[in-house]
Chain A
Amino acid sequence: MRDGPRRSRLGLRVVALAYLAMLLVLPVGLVFWRTFEHGVGPVLDALGDPSVLHAFKVTGIVAFWTVLLNTVFGVGVAVLLVRHRFPGRRALSAFIDLPLAVSPVVVGLALILAYGKFAPIGGWLEARGIQMIFALPGMVLATVFVSLPLVVREVAPVLEEIGIEQEQAAWTLGAGKVQTFKRITLPSIRWALAYGVVLTLARALGEYGAVAVVSGRLVDKTQTVTLVVEERFQNFDQTTAYAASVALAAVAVVILVVINLLRPDERNR
Chain B
Amino acid sequence: MFGAGLATMWLSLLVLIPLAAVVWRAQEDGAGAFWDAVTAPEAAAAIRLTVVASFIVALVNVVFGTLIAWVLVRDDFRGKRIVEALIDLPFALPTIVAGLVLLALYGVGSPVGITLAYTRAGVVVALLFVTLPFVVRTVQPVLLEFDWEMEEAAASLGASRLTTFRRVVLPNLLPAISAGTALAFARAISEFGSTVLISGNLPFKTKVAAVHIYGQIETDNTTGAAAVATVLLVVALVVLVGLDMLQRWAARRA
Q: How far is the CA of A131 from the CA of B240 in the complex (A)?
A: 35
Q: Which residues of A contact B (CB under 8 A)?
A: 4-5, 8-9, 12-13, 15-17, 19-20, 23-28, 30-31, 34, 73, 76-77, 79-80, 84, 86, 88-89, 92, 95-115, 119, 121, 141, 144-145, 148, 199, 202, 205-209, 212-213, 226, 229-230, 233, 241-242, 245, 248-249, 252-253, 255-257, 259-260, 265
A205 proximity list for chain B (CB < 8 A): 94
Q: How far is the CA of A25 from the CA of B215 in the complex (A)?
A: 32
Residues of B within 8 A of A108 (CB): 217
Tell me, rounded to whole Å, the shortest Cβ–Cβ distance linking A225 to chain B: 8
A and B contact pairs by CB, cutoff 8 A, 13 listed? A4-B161, A16-B64, A92-B4, A99-B15, A101-B186, A103-B189, A105-B214, A109-B222, A109-B229, A145-B18, A148-B14, A206-B97, A256-B88
Q: Do A105 and B196 touch across chains, with their CB atoms under 8 A apart?
A: no
In the complex, what distance in Å separates the CA atom of A229 from the CA atom of B99?
10
Q: Which chain A positions have C-beta within 8 A of B88?
A: 256, 259-260
B97-A109 in contact (CB<8A): no
B237 close to A (CB within 8 Å): yes
Count of chain B residues with a beta carbon within 8 Å of a chain A beta carbon:
79
A residues near B157, Cβ cutoff 8 Å = none
The reply to whether B70 and A12 contact each other, CB–CB distance below 8 Å, is yes
Instruction: Give B residues with C-beta under 8 Å from A.
Output: 1, 3-4, 6-8, 10-11, 14-19, 21-22, 24-25, 64, 67-68, 70-71, 74-75, 77, 83-97, 100-102, 104-106, 111-112, 125, 128-129, 132, 141, 161, 186, 189-193, 196-197, 209-211, 213-214, 217, 222, 225-226, 229, 232-233, 236-237, 239-240
Question: Given the interface contacts A27-B105, A145-B14, does A213 sit within 8 Å of B214 by beta carbon?
Answer: yes
Within the complex, which residue of B15, B125, B186, B233 is in contact with A145, where a contact is CB–CB below 8 Å? B15
**CA distance in complex: A86, B25 (Å):** 33
Q: Is the CB of B7 within 8 A of A77?
A: yes
- Give the A-B pair count, Cβ closer than 8 A: 234
Give CA–CA (A128, B222) in the complex, Å: 25
**Which residues from A are CB-within-8-Å of B75?**
9, 12-13
Q: A113-B22, A230-B196 are in contact. Are A30 and B64 (CB under 8 A)?
A: no
Q: Which residues does chain B contribute within 8 Å of A257, judged by CB atoms?
A: 85
CB nearest neighbor in A for B1: A86
A15 and B70 alpha carbons, distance in the complex (Å):
12
Nearest B residue to A210 via CB reads: B192
Tell me whether B97 and A229 are in contact (CB under 8 A).
yes
Contacts of A207 in B (CB 8 A): 94
Interchain residue pairs A-B with the least CB separation, the first 5 = A206-B94, A103-B190, A110-B18, A209-B192, A113-B21
Provide the bound-state CA to CA distance between A245 and B64, in Å: 27
- Give min CB distance, B70 to chain A, whole Å: 7
The reply to whether A95 and B16 form a contact with Cβ atoms under 8 Å apart is: yes
Report B-chain residues with C-beta under 8 Å of the C-beta of A115.
Answer: 18
Q: Establish whether residues A110 and B95, one from each chain, have CB atoms under 8 Å apart when the complex forms.
A: no
Given contacts A92-B7, A111-B18, A209-B192, whether A25 and B93 have CB atoms under 8 Å apart is: no
Residue of B nearest to A119 (CB): B21
Asked whether A253 lies within 8 Å of B21 as measured between CB atoms, the reply is no
A39 to B112, CA, bound (A): 24
